[in-house]
Amino acid sequence: MKARVEGLYALTPETADTERLLFLVGEALAGGARLVQYRNKSQDVALRHEQATELLLLCRRHGAPLIINDDVRLAALIDADGVHLGAEDAPLVEARVNLGPDKLIGVSCYQDLARAQRLTAAGADYVAFGSCFPSPTKPHAPLCPLTLLSEARQRLAVPIVAIGGITPENAPAVIAAGAHAVAVISALFDAPDVRDAAARFSRLFATRLDEEKSAR
């Protein structure tokens, strides 16, 4: 059974310090992160394999899925829970053939609802839109209007992930617009207390669930 895509989706910072990486991700999971994406484009193959393997064990202990950014081969090699693909990565169909039907495959859709509809029809398990706000990770990324999240929520049957410049202060607007999950790097891992930052994000989703229950 595939994991649910909801809540805080922690995207790892790039670092060669595996011990530090595991500590930070452990704090995020302890604070309530529901998914983790291993994102490292600068280190060598051996280190990326080491880090991903250690992260998978950590995520297993916390009952959270580990998604690998871009690298289908690495995801298959360590039996990760899935992969996240951008526009220039492996085709979705190829990733599905390599990973099988039970793995999560997410896709970046930027500001393109038509792309999201096309890839959902092709079998994507979730779609990500952004950048929702100016992002220190990708400062030149075009902004995605929050109205697009609302439209996507109405038209798509898969979870919607919002990404880009999301903080505990602006996340409520993103969640209200329709995001099932928020993908966060800087506001989580650059925080003075990563566990506390994760808990702040997680409480926002708990509040939404309470409001939805009250509205029924």
Hey, which residues are catalytic here? 39, 108, 138
The encoded tokens of residue 155 equal 């038209």
Both structure tokens of 19? 């011990």
- By the 8 A CB rule, do 152 and 127 touch? yes
Tokens of residue 98, six digits: 């390599």
Q: Is the peptide bond prior to 214 cis by the omega test (within 30 degrees of 0)?
A: no
